[in-house]
């Protein structure tokens, strides 16, 4: 697999890259042999806001799985970068020093943070979530976040082709339009707003 799993909430589309493995703390690893490219998931960057600054370790740094490897500061929060794998940092994304916004623009591509030579690839794989498992966890997380913000569980709609949509409650016309517009963009379907209204 080499695509995305997607879920829409209000005006946001959350994406999970299918060729990555994930931690429960929203970090990903794309493994090629014993080399892992790592970064933060789309869900984390959307919830945390625009990235303003990164503090990164130097190449040659040895790391254990779940160990902190620097920090990320956004307009909303500061958080440690937790390594998804055990090994040695062999490359740092130097572009992020001057362009940290790449994490927001392309979290699974140009916004990668480290490349790590793994020393326990089998053990690391066993401790990580595949895309489907992380996707389920992500949906639970934003449902909890929606309940915190709005005081009620969001309304879930599953479309005929398997898309998952969430509407904040209480339901408003604006929230329906936001989801419909996101679905229209994803599906190329100009009738998506009417579809969401019919489903709701």
Q: What is the pLDDT of residue 66?
A: 97
Structural domain contains residue 2: no
Do 192 and 144 sit in the same domain of this protein? yes
pLDDT at residue 61 tops 80: yes
Query: Is residue 31 predicted with pLDDT exceeding 70?
Result: yes
Question: Per residue, what are the HEC states of 54-122?
Answer: EEECCCCCEECCCCEEEEEEECCCEEEEECCCCEEEEEECCHHHHCCCHHHHCCCCCCCCEEEEECCHH
Amino acid 90: pLDDT: 98
pTM for the model stands at 0.78
* Cα–Cα distance, 29 to 79 (Å, whole number): 18
Query: In this predicted model, what pLDDT tens digit does every residue of 119-142 receive, in sequence order?
Result: 999 999 999 999 999 999 998 887
Same domain, 144 and 52: no
Same domain, 54 and 114: yes
Domain containing 110 equals 25-128
Residues 94 and 165 in one domain: no
Indicate the average pLDDT of the chain.
Answer: 84
Give the count of domains, the chain: 2
**In this prediction, what percent of the chain has a pLDDT beyond 90?**
63
pLDDT at 54 over 60: yes
Question: Are both 31 and 124 inside the same structural domain?
Answer: yes
Nearest to 184 by CA among 192, 174, 194, 175: 192
Q: How confident is the model at residue 98 (pLDDT cuts 50, 70, 90)?
A: very high
Q: Does residue 105 share a domain with residue 84? A: yes
The model's confidence at residue 158, banded by pLDDT at 50, 70 and 90, is low
Whether 182 shows a pLDDT value over 70: the answer reads no
What pLDDT shows up at residue 147?
A: 73
Q: How confident is the model at residue 16 (pLDDT cuts 50, 70, 90)?
A: very high
Residue 151 has a pLDDT of 60
Domain match, 52 and 118 both = yes
| CB contact at 8 A, 108 and 28 | yes
């Amino acid at each position: 697999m080499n695509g995305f799993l997607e879920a829409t909430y209000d005006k946001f589309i959350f994406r999970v890259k299918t060729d990555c493995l994930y931690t429960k703390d929203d970090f990903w690893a794309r493994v090629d042999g014993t080399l892992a490219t790592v970064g933060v998931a789309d869900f984390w960057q959307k919830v945390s806001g625009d990235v303003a600054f990164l503090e990164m370790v130097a190449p040659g740094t040895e790391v254990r799985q779940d160990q902190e490897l620097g920090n990320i500061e956004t307009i909303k929060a500061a958080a440690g970068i937790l390594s998804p794998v055990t090994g040695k940092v062999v490359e740092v994304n130097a572009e992020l020093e001057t362009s940290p916004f790449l994490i927001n623009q392309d979290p699974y591509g140009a916004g990668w943070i480290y490349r790590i030579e793994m020393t326990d690839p089998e053990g690391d794989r066993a401790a990580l979530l595949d895309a489907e498992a992380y996707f389920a966890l992500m949906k639970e997380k934003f449902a909890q976040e929606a309940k915190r913000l709005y005081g009620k569980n969001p309304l879930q709609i599953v479309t005929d082709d398997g898309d998952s949509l969430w509407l904040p409650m209480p339901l408003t016309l604006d929230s329906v339009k936001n989801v419909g517009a996101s679905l229209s963009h994803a599906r190329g379907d100009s009738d998506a707003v009417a579809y969401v209204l019919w489903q709701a």
